[in-house]
Chain A
Amino acid sequence: AQKITQTQPGMFVQEKEAVTLDCTYDTSDPSYGLFWYKQPSSGEMIFLIYQGSYDQQNATEGRYSLNFQKARKSANLVISASQLGDSAMYFCAMRLNTGGFKTIFGAGTRLFVKA
């Protein structure tokens, strides 16, 4: 079964520290994409970072990096130097090559950044 698991309902981090949000996935499709989205209280789903299943290097976008461990089926998001504006809900998601137009979302992790 295709599934995304985010085991941390809520996380706290001190401003300027790094934080890791966990994501594990399950699929038998060899071709897939893994995504992280940020959703502030305003509601907009903001695309942060993408990792393809065949990518050899971990994806990075500014302060965001994706720790991709294919054998362990994990795709953790690392946010470096946390800022107050990083406080939001974070969703890990997966789209399969054979999945048509479906996106599989995790339950989300609520991140709180403390001043």
Chain B
Amino acid sequence: DTEVTQTPKHLVMGMTNKKSLKCEQHMGHRAMYWYKQKAKKPPELMFVYSYEKLSINESVPSRFSPECPNSSLLNLHLHALQPEDSALYLCASSYTGGPDTQYFGPGTRLTVL
């Protein structure tokens, strides 16, 4: 099974709201990722967790706060977002880094009003 699940599928929030995106995988992968994707562009890396520790933060604004409660779960907490943060947010996982295959979830379409 190569499934990564994400909830919710769609999210509309105001600029003062607090919400969370969730991601789960049961493939025994040790690396989990958050990407942001704008229309017609490739995904942009935001965060990487390796063995439940934050390994990469691509200078993401603090209004995005990642969390990895255990090796199967990855959250992205959202607070005081801006309309320009509206995008598709993709979670991915891989066994390790290097040339290992990444598997992506279905994504959360976020709209910030």
Residues of B within 8 A of A110 (CB): 40
Q: Is there an interface contact between B97 and A44, defined as CB atoms closer than 8 Å?
A: no
Q: Is there an interface contact between B88 and A100, defined as CB atoms closer than 8 Å?
A: no
Q: A103-B45, A106-B42, A107-B42 are in contact. Are A45 and B104 (CB under 8 A)?
A: yes
Contact of A32 among B45, B90, B99, B102 (CB under 8 A): B99
Contact of A96 among B33, B94, B98 (CB under 8 A): B98
Q: Is there an interface contact between A97 and B98, defined as CB atoms closer than 8 Å?
A: yes
Interface-side segment among B11-19, B48-56, B63-71, B78-86: B48-56
Q: Is there an interface contact between A33 and B100, defined as CB atoms closer than 8 Å?
A: yes
**Closest residue of chain B to A33, judged by CB?**
B99
Contact of A31 among B42, B90, B99 (CB under 8 A): B99
Cα distance A86–B37 when bound, in Å? 21
Interface-side segment among A12-20, A35-43, A70-78: A35-43
Q: Is there an interface contact between B42 and A100, defined as CB atoms closer than 8 Å?
A: no
Q: Which residues of B pack against A, CB within 8 Å?
A: 2, 31, 33, 37, 40-43, 45, 48, 50, 55-56, 88, 90, 92, 94, 97-107, 109
